[in-house]
Amino acid sequence: MATEIITPNTTTMADLKGRVEPDWCPGCGDFGVLAAVQKALVELQIPQHEVCTISGIGCSSNFPGFIETYGMHTLHGRALPVATGVKMANHGLTVLVTGGDGDGFGIGCGHLVHSMRRNVDLTYIVMDNQIYGLTTGQTSPTSRMAMKTKSTPYGNVENPVNPIALALAAGATYVARGFSADQKHLTELIKKGIEHKGFSLIDVFSPCVTFNHDNTVQWFRPRVKRLEDDPNYDASSLNAAMEKAQIWGEEIPIGRFFELTGQPSLEEMEPVLELGPLVRQSYQIPAEKARRFIEELM
């Protein structure tokens, strides 16, 4: 018996609570990111069934299971192409992509660069803990030089990726960095990212309490400085953003580095989508068109 489901008029935190509790380590930064995403969706009042949360593989990639939206848990590093496919086939959905630094800046880095240059309307939230957690503590693409991990017992000798500079260079139109322990600020960054038309990268410091003893909440807290606190900072300037992206050490900027508005997103560039979301279009080729396709061959 078919039954129409009556949807509530409002989206609440309770609606978005996942059907299982997160199994992250107690104190994991990812709890803060999850709460910030849920708050952002509540504040924007986006119905849960119009959201698709897509992840790769890793601790943070278990995220879609902990929030009650449509979700996809995909392959390691492949969340962005999957999400692009979802968005292309139904651009009416709000598509969030969640994952870790290994997933996004390591195995999936190629897809990241291309997703950014395409300016596809996705909000990509990277829970960056500068370590591989689920595989029990190896160096990651954002691990600092000299960091000792299980795979670099004598200290890491490779330079880390600078996600902000990478995103700016690749053409992302919204580039931000958050800190999981600064919930309110992070929620704002995520809200702006969702509202931004085009690709948004939000790199979030989300410390790993178990395997990264260098970059802890205590380490970050005195260092992070909100760009929003500087009234002279101009987030529409690519050069200013690139300059800020180079700062790392006693002071680490967080906030909205860059936003370019008015740039058409990939969906807006595609005439086929002018007819509405692909999934709602007819899939029957009209006889007249079919005749033309065949006639070309005769």
Partner 1 sequence: MRQSFSIGIGGAAGQGVASPGDIFAKVFTRRGLHLNAYNAYQSVIRGGHTFLTMRVGESAIGAVDGHLDLLIPLNQDTADRHLRLLQAGGACLYNADTIHPGTPGEGVALCPLPVSTLADISRNKIAQNTLAIGAALSMMGIGFQSLESILAAQFRSKGSAVIEENVKLARAGYDYASQNFKPFAAPMPLTEKRYAALSGNTAMAMGAAAAGVKFYCAYPMSPATGVLHWMAQHGREAEIMVRQVEDEIGVINMAIGAAHAGVRSMCATSGGGFALMSEGLGLSAQAEIPVVVIDCQRAGPSTGVPTKTEQGDLWQMLGAAFGDYPRVIAAPLDIADCFTLMPEIFNVTDRFQCPGIVLCDLLLSEGRLSVDPAVLDFAPRVDRGELITSNGSGDGEPYKRYKITPSGVSPRVIPGVPGHTHVVSSDEHDEDGVLISDVYTNHAKRRAMMEKRMRKVEGIAAAVAPPQMLGPEDADVTLVGWGSTYGVIQEACELLREQRITANHLPIRWLVPLHGDVILGLLGKARHTIIVENNFSGQFARYLRSETSYVANGHIRKYDGEPFFPEHIVAAVKEQLAGRTKLSVPAHEVMV
- Judged by beta carbon, residue 38 or residue 143, the one nearer partner 1 is 38
Give the per-residue SS3 of the chain: CCCCCCCCCCCCHHHHECCCCCCCCCCCCHHHHHHHHHHHHHHHCCCHHHEEEEECCCCHHHHHHHECCEEEECCCCCHHHHHHHHHHHCCCCEEEEEEEHHHHHHHCHHHHHHHHHHCCCCEEEEEECCCECCCCCECCCCCCCCCCECCECCCCCCCCCCHHHHHHHHCCCEEEEEECCCHHHHHHHHHHHHHCCCCEEEEEECCCCCCCCCCCHHHHCCCEEEHHHCCCCCCCCHHHHHHHHCCCCCCEEEEEEEECCCCCCHHHHCHHHHHCCHHHCCCCCCHHHHHHHHHCCC
113-172 residues in contact with partner 1 (CB under 8 A) are: 113-114
- Choose the binding region for partner 1 from 3-11, 35-43, 183-191, 205-213 (rule: CB under 8 A): 3-11
| Position 73 contacts partner 1 (CB under 8 A) | yes
- Judged by beta carbon, residue 60 or residue 215, the one nearer partner 1 is 60
- Judged by beta carbon, residue 81 or residue 171, the one nearer partner 1 is 81
9-48 residues in contact with partner 1 (CB under 8 A) are: 19-20, 23, 47-48
- Choose the binding region for partner 1 from 78-86, 174-182, 202-210, 234-242 (rule: CB under 8 A): 78-86
CB of 149 to partner 1, least distance (A): 22
- Choose the binding region for partner 1 from 179-187, 197-205, 207-215, 281-289 (rule: CB under 8 A): 281-289
Closest CA to 35 of 66, 11, 8, 9: 66
CB of 41 to partner 1, least distance (A): 12
Applying CB under 8 A, among 17, 90, 148, 252 the residue interacting with partner 1 is: 90
| Position 224 contacts partner 1 (CB under 8 A) | no
- Judged by beta carbon, residue 82 or residue 227, the one nearer partner 1 is 82
- Judged by beta carbon, residue 63 or residue 220, the one nearer partner 1 is 63
Q: Which residues bind partner 1 (CB under 8 A)?
A: 1-5, 7, 19-20, 23, 47-50, 52, 54, 57, 62, 64-65, 68-75, 78, 81-90, 92-93, 110-111, 113-114, 270-273, 275, 278-279, 281-285, 287, 289-290, 292-294, 297-298
